[in-house]
Structure formats: C-alpha cells, structure tokens
Amino acid sequence: MNTIVGTYECKVDAKGRLMMPAPLRKQLAVGIDDGFVLKRSVFQSCLELYPMAEWEKMMQKINKLNRFVKKNNDFIRRFTAGVKIIEVDAAGRLLIPKDLVVFAGIDKEIVLSSAVNIVEIWDKEKYEQSIDDSVVDFADLAEEVMGNINDDENGIS
C-alpha cells in the first residue's frame, strides 16, 4: 500500500457513523472492499484504522512472537484488545463501535489523520491538544528521531 496522506475533519453521528472523506476514500480505494481493522492506539487516546492488508502485515510480525513468553502474551492481549473488523457501507460511512467511541472520547467532531500506512481517528479537541502539546518539543524530537538518518549516497538527508 502507498503512504496515506492528509488530515480531515468530519463529524460522527449519534450512532458512531462517520462519512469517510472522498480524498481519503480515493486513497484507500484499492483495498476498500477488503475492509478495515479498527483498534485502540497503544500510545494515545485515539483509534487506529488499518486497511486489511496492513493489518495482515502487522499480524505476521506479531505472530513471530513466542507465546510461551508471558510478556509477549500480555502484549498481544493488550494490542488486540477491542479490535473490530469494520467495512465502509454503501453510503461511504464507517461505523465506530460504541466501546471504541468511549475509549477515544469521541464526541461529535473528529479528525482523521494519516499516520504513514494507517489512519488515526481522534476526537477533534484531543487531536488539537496532542498537536499543541508537542509543538514545543517537536524540533528536539525531529532531531533525535530523524537526525542520524542519511539515506543518500552523499550523506545528505
């Protein structure tokens, strides 16, 4: 799958349905019929929407963990807690199950934010807070995470 691009604001109705924005639906068109996996984020109070092909890649990695190591079993249980298979309906909507709406604190306005090969689904207020909190430290974080990567032959990133 190609990299997913964009941040989209939309609304979720009282039943937890959201209309997938057309530009995002277009990017996900290749695998849209295969469905998606929706899960809790490990590090944030948001949800992660995996195209099925990306979920299967993740499960191949997780399947390599030795299940006779307690720490691995605990990780797998927590990583897959609340996982749901969802599909886009004929009207182009996704239904977020109630337990995941509660986990992410989703109210009415949400943000769909690309995260390389998945989409994060945030309550808008929490998303804005997350972005604002990291502004001060982002320069340091960028240097720490990306500062030593030199992919080009001439050593220039």
Rg (CA), the chain: 17
Give kind and range of the element (H or E) at residue 142: helix 124-146
- Interior CA angle at 16 toward 126 and 134, to 5°? 15
DSSP conformation letters of 9-27: EEEB-TTSEEEPPHHHHHH
Per-residue pLDDT of the chain (157 residues; tens, 9 = 90+): 579 999 999 999 999 999 999 999 999 988 888 999 999 999 899 999 999 999 999 999 999 999 999 999 999 999 999 999 999 998 999 999 999 999 999 999 999 999 999 999 999 999 999 888 655 577 777 788 888 776 666 555 4
Distance, CA of 50 to chain centre: 6
Which whole-number Å values give the CA distances from 8 to 64, 90, 111, in the listed order?
35, 20, 6
| H helix count then E strand count, the chain | 5, 8
Which pLDDT belongs to residue 157?
Answer: 47
Could you give the domains of the chain? Answer: 7-124 (3.40.1550.20)
Which pLDDT belongs to residue 51?
Answer: 96
